[in-house]
Structure 1
Amino acid sequence: MSDASDPIPAVSPAVRALSPEGAIAEAVEGFRPRAPQQQMALAVEDALVTAPGALLVEAATGVGKTFAYLVPILQSRRRALISTGTKTLQDQLFERDLPVVCEALGYHPRAALLKGRANYLCHYRLELAAAEAGGARGGSVQRERLPVIEALQRFARTSGTGDLGQAGILAEDSPLWPQVTSTVDNCLAGECPSYNDCFVVQARKRAQEADVVVVNHHLLLADMALKEEGFGELLPEVDAVIVDEAHQLPDIAGSFFGVAVGTRALKELARDTRREQEQHAPEMLDIRQRIAELEACAGDLLDASQAWEGRSSWDEINPEGALDPLLDRLDACLGFAHDALAAAAPRAPGLEQLRARSAQLLERLREWREDSPDTVAWAERFSQSLILHRTPLDAARPLAQRRAARPAAWVFTSATLAVGDDFGHAARRLGLPADVASERLDSPFDFPRQACLVHPHPPLPNPNDPRYTRACIAWARPLLRDNPGGGFFLFTSHRALREAAAILRAELPPGRELLVQGEQPRGDLLARFRESGSAWLLGAHSFWEGVDIRGEALSVVIIDRLPFASPSDPVLQARAAALEAEGRSPFMEFTLPQAVLALKQGAGRLIRDANDAGILALCDPRLTGKPYGRRFLASLPAFHRTREPAAALRFLAQARERDACV
């Protein structure tokens, strides 16, 4: 691992471009040259020269990692694939960062943005939805959808991409969304009457021809897992793969390299089959009977799981095989539905596609039921659906195999990859060798002057104490009441979040807005938070990362507990048991490093640029009461530290006053 203070060779083209007199400074207003950014650019430059191989880079907030990898990639004129953690970051990279760097360097490669097929409007399924809504048998709910469907039809005629996220017509949780987009299962591929106009086909064609392709991790893994989504090659061959927000990759990989089958997929198969049967095989009533039996069986499985909540181990909820007869019946019902569809398949492409879907669902169910020592079977219960999962205990091996099958320069980067100076945990989870090249680059921000870390003295009760959440709020009351700006109160459980919301609704002073995760869509909450400038937002897991709010609106972050994963999580339980069987420590090798990295993500919401000032409040008494607490503190930036909320507020006021005088 290199030290960011090492001299940076002036001969490096990437370093020159990112220097005070370089191309980026000339073209980008407000650009601030940073030594850590140049160090990262040099490391990426070297990785491109020595490819194939891998590089791990932890680039703390403020390093500017996006420019640090874009500059050497574009200067090298290599064909590159860039994968981001979310679709939001994907859009930001493609629409903002990439064009800026291309313009600055005077190089305009062919670039393409490629998302999963569920993001693109499907002409064929849109017309089916329109026919269903406008038909004589369409109910009132269907008829109410007609204006929205007509707006989608206008969008389909005028859009160059078909990206529903850019249409502004449907919310992502709209029940209409899955009806007007395709999946691997229901795509008609080359048999589709709209194949030549297909937005997915066009997007993939652009990607195949591009020099730089921007995807997200789900799509990258779909390609790596060799899961063809119905037709065509997914991603092009490239010289370099940049994995941004790489800390998210192993967990996402677990689902892609596993198998899942759910009641929603079964109900959608039944719905689509009924529609195709009515249109193309109205006299084949056997199909309707078999589909009705399948729906009834899926409903019985849902009823049998009413007492479950969230994620549960299959062994725990199926003691002594009590649910096996129901699964046997589901297997039989799927088989009968497949046979009935096979008899009708020659009549229409849609019926043939449904036959293939039923066969695939049956294959998944049987694969899920096959026990394997390298996987864990578990179930996930939602309010209206149930998903059966089988997940690999470790995604490292398939990740390593798929990476080896695509020889290139692989760069994995994130603000949270190292525990202290140690990349071992991240390397193991990503399937990288222990001696993989690595760089850890500290933030250029002046944390001792910009930010204060405060935690309670005397310590609060044990986090398992039922009085704990109320004690957190009582200790943090000065921060909640007296900070003139806004803040995040982050929780490790929804139960604690709900309890805190009930308390704070009664205690926050008038005029201080309280925003609570789950009560509005995430995007709406963040928009209202920014707009307010003085609101408190209470959030759980999804607000610990991927949020970039600068200035006084987010000047305090309170974290209730150290973010250890739930010990009841079935996948984590199985991984812990496997490590114990090998004579290793699950806590030291997995649980603790994961919690340290999660805390770094939560703390990273606070200081987002050189002009920010803020307070990080960590309530958990284990921070100083347990030996492992030192690991958490050592992984955080060099905050100014105090034990009193009032002293932290004075620090914040002085930091703001100092900034105002600059």
Structure 2
Amino acid sequence: MSTSKYAVVDLETTGHSPSKGDRIIQIAIVFIENNQIIDTYMRYVHPQRTIPPFIHQLTSIGDEDVAEAPPFEEIAEEVADMLAGCVFVAHNTDFDVSFLQKELVRCGVSKWQGKKIDTVELAKILYPTLPGYRLQDIAEALNIPLHQAHRADDDAKATAEFFLKALAKIHDLPKETLGRLHERSFAMKSDLSTLFYEGLRSVQSKETAKEYSLFRGIPYRKEQEMAPCPTELPTFPSSDETKEQFLQKINAKYHVRRGQAELMDLTWQAFVEKKQVAVEIPTGVGKTMGYLIPSIIQASATKKPIVISTYTNHLVDMLAEEVQNLGKALQMNIPTTVVKGMANYISFGKFEELLRFNDEVYDDSITIMQVLVWLTETTTGDLDEVNVSGGGQLFIDRIRKRSMKLKRDERVVDFYSRTLERCRNSMLLLTNHAMLMNDKERHTPLFQSVGGLVIDEAHQLYQAAIRTQEQVFSFTNWKYVMSQLNSFSNGQLLFDIQEILTRFHFNHRHSTEKLQSSYDAFMLAFDESMLILANTKMEQENRRTTRSVKPLKKRLLQHESFRVVLRKLNEFLHAAENYTRPVQQHANELTLDEQAALNEWLYWLDEMKIKAGDWVELFLEDTESHMTIWMERDSRSLPGSLQIKKSPIHAASVVRSFIDQFEGQAGIVWTSGTLTAGQDERFVLDQMGVPETVPIYVFDAPSDFYAGANTFIVEDMPDIQQVSDDEYIAAVADALIQTAVAIDGRVFALFLSHDMLKKTYEEIVDSESLQDEYTLIAQGVSSGSRHKLLKTFKQSEKAILFGTTSFWEGVDVPSDELSAVVVVRLPFTSPEEPLFKARSAALQAEQKNAFTHLGLPEAILRFRQGFGRLIRSSDEQGFFIILDRRIDTKSYGKSFLNALPQSHVKKVSLESLVNEIENCYTDL
């Protein structure tokens, strides 16, 4: 039990800067002692200035609330007295402590002195799998009441409740984990060491709980036995009546829908007859349940697993949740294994070795603490579960599993091996497209002896297949790997190796000089080759943007400098191997710390050998006719932004070589909400080389599903091909501002170009038209991953999300009241995009029109996906707004509109659009 007294503080203020006149408008303090809340304090504070509209909206605290309140000068001494002797706790102490200290000094009161606890830092360590660490995110995930965020009283109470949960969790952790957390807690920004010390002291005499095992002194959760497959399952519900009965076992509100029933029948038929079938089925029809039900019945009948593949790991995890919910609803166990690539799993041995180094930066230390706690909870070892900072991701990358070579004590704790073993006893194997396409490259393929295969989001399999064959050179990645073997600083790897050589009395002066000179020669050659690439003139370079893309010609790749780099790299690798050879001869005499240092050296040496192989394939081998190679760079950061990519032009052969093995052995179901591109029904299937004999079935949404969708073409936008980018961007910004104000909610703006997105975002920010009310979230500008940006968007009452290609599909746009998807440009791929250009040239060589057979169907497919972001259920209403007038003025425009589900399409001016939205809003 903690003996300290804690003061959990939250402030609401008029802004972030007391020196510029910002003041406190509300202060709340919750006092905790003996692990319980003993008192609370809350006061409104008169800021002696008007509360800004943005703060009023954020906090719901207005001038009338503080009208009778005292200024902070009158309560400053009272607040200081209450805080005296307390540990200061806040959600982001940097803000609350700093602001309060400045206000106390301004009022002539002594600064508060003492320890502080930041609950953001604490939450990251103790709850490493939370999706976010805002107070709202934590409260939602841990079922903590938070009646109104950004009110000091509610926020302080929620923070206090979280703090009590955190204290309890600390005391439940294994003592070995607490010991390691305490060791590293001194590197934290707040005084967490006191919490871990008290926790460690309270559990010191306890035995490690039986649910944990130890690996080299590190606790981890024991493997849970997989429950057996159910012995009896219902037969396949062949009639609509039995389907209805089956669905109502899952949820009494479910009713069988035509498309869903057809998908169930087609999936079952494909499995039983071991044939292929393709099914396009729209959102809202119950696609996932449509293939899951026949899958579990088939798996039970054949005693072979069904493989279900979808596009991303995030979608795989969502699918796993659906299977879990299905099992609960049916009151049956559905043994399921999520299978991801080897590098998604932790290498326990590598993690333990890295704990022996003491040269950590803050991001490394907090990430290590997160992983230590996560290991006491995870049953999968999947590193995707851990929510780390951008800097922490570098450490995570170092502990990824890279090899199947395991030491004896690692075999028991290897999560990836566990996963492969679990596959043998599973009914369902859930994976991603990349993992599926790489299966044939494995020593022992996973997905061969199966009862069937479902490929969901099938339109994305082509891109996944391309990426499995793609090679990428990144200047920054090369520099990072190279630097690991060449730092003589105290605590760095090379310094540690020298210390070992010295301990064994090896005279390493000559070998060190040779190592350094070979490294310097390699670096000189490498940098010269990068200058050649950086100074290469880009053909048709777009001077309106700093980013450029260029196909690499054979003449450039034949430059002698690339051969010199390989020669110098091999000389360095030879010197680096020789450098540690004397140490390796005494491997049995090394301490554990020395062994860790040697293993780390050998790891990075192997990484450099892999780089050497990549260099040969990218720069020194002739590019085959079915491949294309290009360079990407940004003139603002050369050579740092340099990337070279080599990719197959087509992926059909990759897909075919995988699916051909199932011929006559298992059925395959290809399904997606967008499997056809308008009138070109077989565009996606043809790209993947799916035989013409495979039938495709297209099902429409229920007749009233899109009743709430309204499609508008804004006819007074400037012609994108007749005006400058700046003029078009200004018009787009104005349209987004007016749409957002009319909707009074959320707007999803879809761009093709990062450059246009950024400039439009900046135009709106500079206009200050929405600054007091709207959250502006821009991909590539706002910090955070795609999923984090989307979560922020969903949690904001009024927001604009600016997204590019990856946001055109796979995300749900919330529409609690009204929502809008705005298409800034028709989603044609740039003719200068290297892979598109190569594919176009291949079509032209076959006497085919590249626009008709590639450009247009690809754009229509993406357009349909954009529309699909708008309406996700039949009770939603929203606006699909098209700013690109070419949809009305070009002959191909009708192909886009005809590809959409039935919805009301109107051509309107921007002014009329605003009126239409407002009228619709009024009618609700």
TM-score under structure 1 normalisation? Answer: 0.86
Displacement of 1:190: 3.0
Which residue does the alignment assign to 2:695? Answer: 437
Displacement of 1:302: 4.2
Which residue does the alignment assign to 2:560? Answer: 325
- Given the alignment, which residue of 687, 700, 704 partners 1:446? 704
Which residue does the alignment assign to 1:462? Answer: 720
Displacement of 1:172: 8.7
- Report if the CA contact (8 A) 1:469-1:560 is conserved: no
Distance in 2, matches of 1:61 and 1:654, equals 27
Deviation digits for residues 86-141 of structure 1, max 9, x if unmatched? 121111111x2112333444553321012223322222332343333x1xxx2xx6
Which residue does the alignment assign to 1:125? Answer: 350
Which residue does the alignment assign to 2:450? Answer: 238
AA paired with 1:118?
A
Which deviates further from its counterpart, 296-305 or 602-611?
Answer: 296-305
Q: After TM superposition, list the pairs within 5 Å mapping 1:126-525 onto structure 2.
A: 126-132=351-357, 134=358, 138=359, 142=361, 145-171=364-390, 174-183=393-402, 187=403, 189-191=405-407, 194-224=410-440, 226-227=441-442, 233-235=445-447, 237-264=449-476, 266-267=478-479, 269-271=481-483, 273=485, 275=493, 278-279=496-497, 282=501, 283=508, 285=512, 286-287=514-515, 289-306=517-534, 312-315=549-552, 320-321=555-556, 324-340=559-575, 343=578, 350=599, 357-368=607-618, 369-381=621-633, 384=640, 386-407=642-663, 408-444=666-702, 446=704, 449-458=707-716, 460-463=718-721, 465-466=723-724, 467-475=727-735, 478-505=738-765, 506=767, 508-509=769-770, 510-518=772-780, 519-521=782-784, 522-525=786-789
Displacement of 1:30: 4.1
The alignment of Structure 1 onto Structure 2 pairs a total of residues equal to 631
Which deviates further from its counterpart, 556-565 or 352-361?
Answer: 352-361
Deviation digits for residues 47-76 of structure 1, max 9, x if unmatched? 11121x322221112122111110111122
Alignment of 1:557 with 2:818, yes or no, is: no
Distance in 2, matches of 1:590 and 1:612, equals 33
Which residue does the alignment assign to 2:283? Answer: 61
Helix, strand or coil for the counterpart of 2:276? Answer: strand
- Given the alignment, which residue of 820, 843, 856 partners 1:579? 843
- Report if the CA contact (8 A) 1:80-1:211 is conserved: yes
Distance in 1, matches of 2:763 and 2:474, equals 38
Distance in 1, matches of 2:238 and 2:338, equals 24
* RMSD, matched Cα: 3.2
Which deviates further from its counterpart, 208-217 or 458-467?
Answer: 458-467
Which deviates further from its counterpart, 404-413 or 64-73?
Answer: 404-413
Helix, strand or coil for the counterpart of 1:131? Answer: coil
Deviation digits for residues 225-272 of structure 1, max 9, x if unmatched? x156xxx65556312121111111112211212334444554454355
Distance in 2, matches of 1:236 and 1:306, equals 46
Distance in 2, matches of 1:640 and 1:152, equals 52
C-alpha spacing 1:542/1:24, structure 2 compared with 1 (3 Å): same
Deviation digits for residues 477-509 of structure 1, max 9, x if unmatched? 542321122111111111221222123221634
Helix, strand or coil for the counterpart of 1:377? Answer: strand
- 5+ residue gaps in structure 1? 1-10
Displacement of 1:221: 1.9
- Given the alignment, which residue of 528, 544, 555 partners 2:792? 528
Displacement of 1:26: 3.0
AA paired with 2:381?
G
Distance in 1, matches of 2:255 and 2:728, equals 44
Displacement of 1:454: 0.5
Distance in 1, matches of 2:279 and 2:388, equals 39
Alignment of 1:116 with 2:376, yes or no, is: no
Which deviates further from its counterpart, 395-404 or 272-281?
Answer: 272-281
Distance in 2, matches of 1:191 and 1:150, equals 24
Helix, strand or coil for the counterpart of 2:685? Answer: helix
Displacement of 1:143: 5.7
- 5+ residue gaps in structure 2? 1-234, 487-492, 502-507, 539-545, 588-597
- Report if the CA contact (8 A) 1:452-1:648 is conserved: no
Which residue does the alignment assign to 1:79? Answer: 305
C-alpha spacing 1:265/1:555, structure 2 compared with 1 (3 Å): closer
Distance in 2, matches of 1:656 and 1:616, equals 15
- Report if the CA contact (8 A) 2:237-2:246 is conserved: no
Displacement of 1:14: 5.8
Which residue does the alignment assign to 1:5? Answer: none
- Report if the CA contact (8 A) 1:12-1:42 is conserved: no
Displacement of 1:419: 1.8
- Higher RCO (CA 8 Å, separation ≥ 6 residues): 1
Distance in 2, matches of 1:168 and 1:62, equals 31
Alignment of 1:102 with 2:327, yes or no, is: yes
- Given the alignment, which residue of 266, 272, 288 partners 1:43? 266
- Given the alignment, which residue of 23, 35, 41 partners 2:246? 23
Deviation digits for residues 504-540 of structure 1, max 9, x if unmatched? 2216344133222221213332222212222121211
Displacement of 1:640: 0.8
Distance in 1, matches of 2:844 and 2:627, equals 16
C-alpha spacing 1:630/1:454, structure 2 compared with 1 (3 Å): same
- Report if the CA contact (8 A) 2:743-2:818 is conserved: no
C-alpha spacing 1:76/1:265, structure 2 compared with 1 (3 Å): same
Helix, strand or coil for the counterpart of 1:125? Answer: helix
- Report if the CA contact (8 A) 1:331-1:365 is conserved: yes
- Report if the CA contact (8 A) 2:818-2:921 is conserved: no
Displacement of 1:322: 7.0
Distance in 1, matches of 2:821 and 2:838, equals 33
Deviation digits for residues 603-622 of structure 1, max 9, x if unmatched? 11100111100110111111
Distance in 1, matches of 2:363 and 2:415, equals 26
Displacement of 1:45: 1.2
Distance in 1, matches of 2:819 and 2:377, equals 43
Which deviates further from its counterpart, 189-198 or 436-445?
Answer: 189-198
C-alpha spacing 1:647/1:67, structure 2 compared with 1 (3 Å): farther
Displacement of 1:652: 5.7
C-alpha spacing 1:357/1:517, structure 2 compared with 1 (3 Å): closer
- Given the alignment, which residue of 636, 640, 662 partners 2:900? 636
Displacement of 1:162: 2.0
- Report if the CA contact (8 A) 2:753-2:804 is conserved: yes
- Report if the CA contact (8 A) 1:379-1:386 is conserved: yes
Deviation digits for residues 568-589 of structure 1, max 9, x if unmatched? 2111111111111111111111
Distance in 1, matches of 2:920 and 2:742, equals 16
C-alpha spacing 1:124/1:623, structure 2 compared with 1 (3 Å): same
Distance in 2, matches of 1:175 and 1:639, equals 47
Displacement of 1:452: 0.8
C-alpha spacing 1:560/1:173, structure 2 compared with 1 (3 Å): farther
Larger of the two Rg values belongs to structure: 2
Deviation digits for residues 137-188 of structure 1, max 9, x if unmatched? x2xx6366324323323433543222223233455973222122234xxx36
Displacement of 1:629: 1.1
